[in-house]
């Protein structure tokens, strides 16, 4: 996977989750189905963030990675961490209701 895609991965997950929740809410409105689908979608986005966090963790970075790539991986880690917090915050109402 290209490092630039990994660096933008967390922000892409956050964007997809944001628009996905609005799509789910506009299709099913306030039904129980909307809560279940939004909860499942939130869990899938959190799993994607966890995958990015696992692959960009500072512990996993070897000494053979140059300075620029190490900085990009750290940026990707922070972006995925921010995305995980935002996805959890946006999906929390659906997870509480379900």
3-class secondary structure for the chain?
CCHHHHHHHHHHHHHHHHHHHHHHHHHHCCCHHHHHHHHHHHHHHHHHHHHHHHHHCHHHCCCCCCHHHHHHHHHHHHHHHHHHHHHHHHHHHHHHHC
pTM of the predicted model, to two decimals? 0.86
| Cβ 5 vs Cβ 56: under 8 Å | no
Average per-residue pLDDT for the chain: 88
Percent of the chain with pLDDT over 90: 53
What is the span of the domain harbouring residue 14?
Answer: 3-97
Mean pLDDT, residues 42-49 taken together: 96
Residue-wise pLDDT for 24-40, tens only, equals 989 988 788 888 999 99
* CB atoms inside a 10 Å sphere around CB 42: 23
In the chain, the number of structural domains is: 1
């Amino acid at each position: 996977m290209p490092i630039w895609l990994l660096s933008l991965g967390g922000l892409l997950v956050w964007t997809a989750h944001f628009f996905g929740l609005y799509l789910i809410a506009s299709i099913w409105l306030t039904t129980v189905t909307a809560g279940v689908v939004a909860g499942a979608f939130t869990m899938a986005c959190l799993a994607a963030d966890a995958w990015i966090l696992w692959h960009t963790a500072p512990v996993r970075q070897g000494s053979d990675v140059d300075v620029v790539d190490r900085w990009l991986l750290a940026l990707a880690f922070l972006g995925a961490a921010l995305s995980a917090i935002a996805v959890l915050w946006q999906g929390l109402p659906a997870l509480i209701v379900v």
